[in-house]
Amino acid sequence: MDLPFTESYKIKMVEPIRKSTRKEREEWIKNAKFNLFNLRSEQVFIDLLTDSGTGAMSDRQWGAIMTGDESYAGSSSYYHLKETIKDVTGFEYFLPSHQGRAAENVLFSSLIKAGDLIPGNAHFDTTKGHIEFRHADAIDCTIKEAYDTTKEHPFKGNVDLDKLEHVLISNPKERIPMIIVTVTCNTAGGQPVSMQNLKDVYQMAKKYGITVIFDAARFAENAYFIKMREHGYRNKSIRDIVQEMFSYSDGMTMSSKKDGLVNIGGFMAFRKKEMVEKCSMHTIMYEGYITYGGMSGRDMNALAVGLQEVVEFDYLDTRIQQVKYLGDKLIEYGVPVQQPIGGHAVFVDAKRFLPHVPKDEYIAQTLAVELYLEGGVRGVEIGTLLADRDPHSRENRYPALELVRLAIPRRVYTNNHMHYVAAILKNVYDRRDQLKHGFSITHEAPILRHFTVELERVHKEASVRK
């Protein structure tokens, strides 16, 4: 008999979670102004809002927490982390920051000016926010296959080289401070970038004299996909693949809350010392002294251990197989999802799920609210709310895809939890024809509005029960 798939860890500590009633959830979501970010965590049964900082640390990481060095300058935890980053990525120079967007803030403050263009593959929302906040433009050069959820393509995070070259040819080099390649590409559905594409982008960038930075939050998950899907990599170790990936960039920003396997933290790392010199002043101004940059010594220690664990094949296999388990269940139930299934999340295609809801009533948000009401499952909208308004015209930007992301925290839930989530989606899918209306906005912030937006139902009776 073939042996079933098993997790590469056992459980040493548990955290109780509680199911609520539909009546309770109706009250809670109304009080939360139909914004899932406003819910208290106790009001959620299975929390798939994000995989960011929500993972479980290992016993080795908790052990490292106890030996953190809290010295202001020159802490041994800083050197432990510096050596680990060098070992895993090959980058000699690094600056810590309190999370990924803080690294973006420091790097962009040092390198981006108004009127600049930053091409890349579907920039992450905070990345785009930090670019636009500086009156620069993020240019999306992702391949077109990324925007068709039914199309099988092994590397939907790839950069379209023609689109990229067009930007590089038609603008002066001084206006393009960097190309940002996001691995895996969160916005396009947790989709990986192939090694060949990373290499081609780097070679093109060098031809035009442009710096390449990886937004590397999920670099190890990307490496796993290269190993499993790209010709010539099946027998290479994750570590070797990671090293080769980073050889095609000049530096990285990192949200350690993803593939750092910790609950908070970030960093920048570079091949050249001059980059650190450029970024040190803003690190000291915004984050703290350059040997801690907003992180405690114990957190740097836990991160150093996490970065070694994340490049173990067995860890990654457990991780990605669990995400796939949920995705495959949904496919079996006929629920429309982005395919192939990404690394950290399953993305439900809300336009195909709820064909009757008009686009100006926030289709993906309507679905996300419905999943919460059905079973206390919290996903997140990746659609018109997240896409925000055009900074020039202030009109809603309607993205090609309206998605609900079900992000799976690392090492937290079991496959039974995934099975429950799939059943909740199936139940909503079965009554999709009754869902005809969504929401309108009653309050929103000028930038990154999705975090604090307040909504009301377009038709008060809209949530129809089975």
Is residue 121 a contact point for ligand PLP (CB under 6 A)? no
Is residue 266 a contact point for ligand PLP (CB under 6 A)? yes
Q: Given the rule CB under 6 A, which of 97-105, 136-144, 286-294, 427-435 is the region that contacts ligand PLP?
A: 97-105
Q: Given the rule CB under 6 A, which of 138-146, 253-261, 293-301, 374-382 is the region that contacts ligand PLP?
A: 253-261
Is residue 214 a contact point for ligand PLP (CB under 6 A)? no
**Considering beta carbons, is residue 257 or 378 the nearer one to ligand PLP?**
257
CB atoms within 10 A of CB 461: 7
Question: Residue 258 catalytic?
Answer: yes
Shortest distance, position 357 Cβ to ligand PLP, whole Å: 27
Tell me which residue of 382, 303, 402 sits closest to 49, measured CA to CA.
Answer: 382
CB 107 within 8 A of CB 101: no
Catalytically annotated residue among 125, 137, 317, 328: 125
CA separation (Å) from 312 to 8, 145, 360, 367, 418? 10, 30, 44, 36, 23
CB 384 within 8 A of CB 397: yes
Catalytically annotated residue among 123, 258, 324, 344: 258
Catalytically annotated residue among 19, 30, 72, 314: 72
Question: Residue 344 catalytic?
Answer: no
For residue 272 the two structure tokens come to 């050249």
Is residue 291 a contact point for ligand PLP (CB under 6 A)? no
How far apart, in whole angstroms, are the C-alpha atoms of residue 164 and residue 186?
19
**Considering beta carbons, is residue 186 or 296 the nearer one to ligand PLP?**
186
> Measured in whole angstroms, how far is the alpha carbon of residue 215 from the centre of its chain?
10
CB 327 within 8 A of CB 33: no
Segment 163 to 182, residues that bind ligand PLP, using CB under 6 A: 182
Q: Given the rule CB under 6 A, which of 5-13, 158-166, 254-262, 372-380 is the region that contacts ligand PLP?
A: 254-262
For residue 264 the two structure tokens come to 């908070």
42: Cβ–Cβ under 8 A, 6 or more apart, which residues? 18
How far apart, in whole angstroms, are the C-alpha atoms of residue 427 and residue 330?
11
Q: Which of 8, 20, 76, 126 binds ligand PLP (CB under 6 A)?
A: 126
Tallying the residues shown for the chain, one arrives at: 466
Name residue 2's amino acid. Answer: D
Q: Given the rule CB under 6 A, which of 93-101, 198-206, 346-354, 439-447 is the region that contacts ligand PLP?
A: 93-101
15: Cβ–Cβ under 8 A, 6 or more apart, which residues? none
Shortest distance, position 341 Cβ to ligand PLP, whole Å: 17
Tell me which residue of 289, 218, 209 sits closest to 254, measured CA to CA.
Answer: 218
Q: Given the rule CB under 6 A, which of 25-33, 99-107, 268-276, 361-369 is the region that contacts ligand PLP?
A: 99-107
Is residue 129 a contact point for ligand PLP (CB under 6 A)? no
How far apart, in whole angstroms, are the C-alpha atoms of residue 351 and residue 438?
12
Q: Which residue has the tokens 């980058």?
A: 91
Burial of 279 (0-12, 13-18, 19+ CB in 10 A): buried
Shortest distance, position 183 Cβ to ligand PLP, whole Å: 8
**Considering beta carbons, is residue 374 or 388 the nearer one to ligand PLP?**
388
Q: Which of 68, 100, 251, 343 binds ligand PLP (CB under 6 A)?
A: 100
Is residue 52 a contact point for ligand PLP (CB under 6 A)? yes
How far apart, in whole angstroms, are the C-alpha atoms of residue 320 and residue 408?
10
How far apart, in whole angstroms, are the C-alpha atoms of residue 400 and residue 421?
26
Give the angle 153-319-98 at the CA atoms, nearest 5°: 100
Is residue 336 a contact point for ligand PLP (CB under 6 A)? no
240: Cβ–Cβ under 8 A, 6 or more apart, which residues? none
CB atoms within 10 A of CB 299: 24
Is residue 215 a contact point for ligand PLP (CB under 6 A)? yes
Name residue 235's amino acid. Answer: N
Tell me which residue of 54, 48, 55 sits closest to 378, measured CA to CA.
Answer: 48
Shortest distance, position 104 Cβ to ligand PLP, whole Å: 7
Shortest distance, position 125 Cβ to ligand PLP, whole Å: 8
Shortest distance, position 213 Cβ to ligand PLP, whole Å: 11
Shortest distance, position 256 Cβ to ligand PLP, whole Å: 7
Is residue 101 a contact point for ligand PLP (CB under 6 A)? yes
Q: Which of 217, 242, 403, 422 binds ligand PLP (CB under 6 A)?
A: 217
Is residue 127 a contact point for ligand PLP (CB under 6 A)? yes
How far apart, in whole angstroms, are the C-alpha atoms of residue 60 and residue 264?
17
**Considering beta carbons, is residue 75 or 121 the nearer one to ligand PLP?**
121
**Considering beta carbons, is residue 120 or 336 the nearer one to ligand PLP?**
120
Q: Given the rule CB under 6 A, which of 98-106, 167-175, 222-230, 355-363 is the region that contacts ligand PLP?
A: 98-106
Is residue 415 a contact point for ligand PLP (CB under 6 A)? no
Report the interface residues with ligand PLP, using CB under 6 A. Answer: 52, 99-101, 124, 126-127, 182, 186, 215, 217, 255, 257-258, 266
Residues marked active site are found at 72, 124-125, 215, 217, 258, 450
